Structure 1
Amino acid sequence: MIKFAANISFLFKDLSVPERIHAAAAAGFSAVEFLFPYDDPVPGIQQALSDTGLPLVLINAPPPNYTGGARGFAAVPGGEERFRHDFRRALRYAQALRSRFIHVMAGPGEGEAARAAFVANLREAAELARDHVLTIEPINQGDMPGYFLSDFDAAAEILDAVDRPNVGLQFDVYHAQKITGDAMAVWARHGRRARHIQIAGLPDRHEPVAGVVDYPAFFRHLEESGYDGYVSAEYHPAAGTEAGLGWMPTR
């Protein structure tokens, strides 16, 4: 059976963060992910996770200490010291909340210098976070213009260059479809590298129902192939979270 996680940065947003965790458990999710937990009290999150028994499986790095700035800077040449400082803070949160996965956001950039900075920062972060898995995620340029990592072939090359066992691919089906027009072909080429999966419907990032991507078929494929990671619901509910949960096979 697929293990579905609720991205509580997207779902149950009318509730407090601890209440979102309880709501995810009540809805039948097996875990939660929380992109940026840095502005919420850790004890409240810890208590909700303990009460429900749900693991927090992923957070993003770095913390969002920007105002209208870029999402991440791991691929920004000259930003190594800033990355090192903020990644250590993200790691402390991951340790406190027992999040296995840390998504390292590349930020803006292009060219070989940005690639070299990204590879070097990932290698250093992998050494610092040996008990965690770092993920990189290609993000489409429409949603995040100028983002360095927006190509799955490039992501594969970067993973090969980093060459660390605790660094892998975060496969977002929505972004894969937006980038290439054929998410399932991208999965066939790169799915073996995936350590974590995120899903959303196309084209408006609502519920992951059958449509542009045949999600029921994708879920069956994951079960048949023995994928044992989490599949996280990272979408904007069209009409309230609870009303749209009929897509989950466990319901």
Structure 2
Amino acid sequence: MPDFAVNLSMLFTEVPLAERFSLAAEQGFQKVEIQFPYELPAPQIASLLQQNNQQLILLNAPAGNWQTGDRGIACQPDRIEEFRQGITQAISYAKELKCSNINILSGISPESYSLEIIENTFIDNLRFCAEAFAQADIQLLTEAINTQDIPGFFLSSSAQAFDLFRKVDHPNIQLQYDIYHMQIMEGNLINTLQNNLDKIGHIQFADVPGRHEPQTGELNFGNIFQAIDDMGYSGVTSLEYNPSTSTAESLRWIKLIAERE
């Protein structure tokens, strides 16, 4: 089985964020990720991680105003200064929390700019982050997201991501490969992982459709996890799903899949 982490922004939401660390620890998770940890002071999160003997392995950079529809601002030409201020905050949190990965969301393409300008803005911001993160010993990740859930999201396929990586031309950039999003957009999951393993720094998953736990949809996670093990992937694979029941009950798939191996 892969090296699992749990996303505390989507699981254990029965309680406030500060109480989710201990619940995750009770279920055996020593690695956690948080989409946007900024609602809590970094020292408080550091204390919670220490109390529960956990490691924060991933956080997202600030993504604009989520409540008003932002889903990242890295591709938006008129918000470069705001984006880079958010990067300063993300680096500060990552340093204090000893988090080695920061994920950047491209955001939705603004209608008032050409595709060329939008892409160049995203490339420039990725290049800026790649260097800034490298100086802080942090890995830059970016994520392709399906355009059914978020219409207009700029980065929406693995092929597009890898093409952008060539244009960014910096060693400190990898893809956060989300199995849920990529099953919707392109399928061919195992082959894509196998053929691009050197460009993939983190994996997340949920079943399709519904974005719930494994064994609620169409994906054969037993085969997928076995393939991830067999191909020699050395990173973390994270549970990032909306439980269809209580979080604790939604974790039963782990034992069921393990028993079949």
Q: TM-score, normalised by structure 2?
A: 0.90
The CA distance in 2 between the partners of 1:181 and 1:123, in whole Å, is 28
CA 1:237–1:17 in structure 2 vs 1: closer, same or farther (change >3 Å)? Answer: same
The CA distance in 2 between the partners of 1:12 and 1:63, in whole Å, is 22
Q: Cα offset for 1:42? A: 2.4
The CA distance in 1 between the partners of 2:133 and 2:222, in whole Å, is 35
Q: How does 1:1-251 map to 2 (within 5 A)?
A: 1-65=1-65, 67-109=67-109, 111-130=115-134, 131-209=137-215, 211-249=217-255
Q: Cα offset for 1:64? A: 4.4
Q: Cα offset for 1:143? A: 0.9
Aligned residues of 1:73 and 1:107 also touching (Cα < 8 A): yes
The CA distance in 2 between the partners of 1:158 and 1:22, in whole Å, is 39
Q: Deviations over 1:6-51 (max 9, x none)?
A: 1000000112323211111211223000001111132321111111
Q: Deviations over 1:166-219 (max 9, x none)?
A: 210000000001112443343344344210000101100110237522111111
The CA distance in 2 between the partners of 1:64 and 1:23, in whole Å, is 29
Larger deviation, residues 229-238 vs 43-52: 43-52
The letter for the 1-side match of 2:133 is A
CA 1:66–1:197 in structure 2 vs 1: closer, same or farther (change >3 Å)? Answer: closer
Q: Cα offset for 1:4? A: 0.5
Larger deviation, residues 116-125 vs 104-113: 104-113
Task: List alignment gaps of at least 5 residues for structure 1.
Answer: none
Q: TM-score, normalised by structure 1?
A: 0.93
The CA distance in 2 between the partners of 1:237 and 1:205, in whole Å, is 8
Q: Cα offset for 1:63? A: 4.9
The CA distance in 1 between the partners of 2:92 and 2:17, in whole Å, is 19
Alignment partner of 1:56: what SS? Answer: strand
Q: Cα offset for 1:90? A: 1.5
Aligned residues of 2:177 and 2:202 also touching (Cα < 8 A): yes
The letter for the 1-side match of 2:11 is L
Task: List alignment gaps of at least 5 residues for structure 2.
Answer: none
Aligned length: 251
The CA distance in 1 between the partners of 2:217 and 2:147, in whole Å, is 22
Aligned residues of 1:171 and 1:198 also touching (Cα < 8 A): yes
Aligned residues of 1:137 and 1:172 also touching (Cα < 8 A): yes
CA 1:64–1:23 in structure 2 vs 1: closer, same or farther (change >3 Å)? Answer: farther
Alignment partner of 1:129: what SS? Answer: helix
Aligned residues of 2:174 and 2:201 also touching (Cα < 8 A): yes
The letter for the 1-side match of 2:28 is G
Aligned residues of 2:213 and 2:242 also touching (Cα < 8 A): yes
